[in-house]
Structure 1
């Protein structure tokens, strides 16, 4: 499953003198080649979410569960796309959830990827933030800031059992050169894939369930990659050759 903040060229900031920092001015999920179930736009305020049929799940107090920051909303009890909003009702992140009863049946996720998958209430969750996790439950964003920043400013992946354990993902592809992210294939209309710490003879139970996508050297998407069978219109089921990594 992929998440597209819908990037466009923006003002030059930070890491590069030649590449523009992307503006994330939308939020779409699920890659596809046309049709109603591809690049599905998601609400970016609580008001838009409730108007679209999303309902709040878990605690209504931001961060009260002690596991992730944000107030969670889902539609039709489908936790594959769980939107996280800050204390002011603006988009702050996104989450994937697997019901514990499904995990108990399939044996996924393996203990070797817990975390980043963390048990909270009745489900295992993967969490990504688009705004600073430290401010989501304190100050949040104002309408004027949201209007300027759009979906967010950066991509943080939660790597531990609490929202304080996160990794900031580089905006620019060159920033991955000194990391354990492994270059994969460039898939048309998706981008250059990066997988975490992938090796030829690795234990599949340790396969990291997140991938990154870069276009023109800039981060424009990311996705969850889950080695189990799950049922939702939000999931894609790529053919095996599409998952190959560079030699």
Structure 2
């Protein structure tokens, strides 16, 4: 089914106080804004094999911004250093969806059709009309053009391996990929989805590692069951979980688990 969804923002990190300065932080949605906020370019569209777009970082592992050839937002990345003491990401996640570049493993999502990012890009009029993007695509291999398009409809998501966890107001209904009580954390997919009012309007990172970032959320193990069901035993008994919610629509206060 073809769908069009207009995402209006790119706001990161959940907090209990909607007015907190360290939560619900807006990310730059144009290359010009990224430069003005002292982000620096990692790579551009010129001959890069593993990822699409102009990639910018502000020395934050969780908020690498991706822009199209015209400088409009096209996606986001997070990176996990290679060689962590717990071996994360495990073998099952390496190459799908984590892709190695240098000394880091990257997970990538795109907000527009990947085929357009380094070719036509978006016009200013399209950016004004569509906002942050028109869909959510998870790169799940070394060919970004084969990224997985996520269902916009919650009904459609329920017909896949994405399973409903739990809902928390101002977060939304959490969906995790193929969770089971006895699964290995080597198979714990590092992206989760959030639906509100029946539609996709946010997503997040979830890494079984202690990633340091000013935007990171580190939920205590005894609180994870608030949003995840079932909680895999491997998550309950080992190490730190690093998460970060990324909100794509501006009515966060209306995310009331409907």
Query: TM-score scaled by structure 2?
Result: 0.82
SS in 1 for 2:163: strand
Q: Report what 2:122 is aligned to.
A: 141
CA distance in 1, matches of 2:85, 2:230: 34
Q: How far off is 1:66 after superposition?
A: 0.8
* SS of 2:32 mapped into structure 1: helix
Gaps of 5+ in 2: 232-258
Structure 2 residue 221 is matched with structure 1 residue 240: no
Partner of 2:146: 165
Deviation track 1:146-196 (CA, whole Å, cap 9, x = no partner) reads: 111110011001111220221111111001122111110011210111000
- Are the aligned partners of 2:176 and 2:189 in contact in 1 as well (CA < 8 Å)? yes
Select 1:51's aligned residue among 21, 28, 36: 36
- Is 1:110 the counterpart of 2:94? The answer is no
State the number of aligned residues: 225
Q: Does 1:68 align with 2:48?
A: no
1:63·1:69 contact (CA, 8 Å) conserved in 2? Answer: no
Cα distance change of structure 1 residues 63 and 93 upon mapping to structure 2, 3 Å threshold? farther
Structure 2: distance between partners of 1:31 and 1:64: 36
TM-score normalised to structure 1 length = 0.86
Deviation for aligned residue 1:22? 4.8
Listed one character per residue, the Cα deviations across residues 1-44 of structure 1 (whole Å, up to 9, x for unaligned) are xxxxxxxxxxxx956xxxxx653121101111221111100111
In structure 1, stretches of 5+ residues that fail to align are 1-12, 16-20
Aligned to 2:64: 82
Query: Do 2:166 and 2:229's aligned partners in 1 also have CA atoms closer than 8 Å?
Result: yes
**In the alignment, what sits opposite 2:155?**
174
Within-5 A mapping of 1:20-35: 22-34=5-17, 35=20
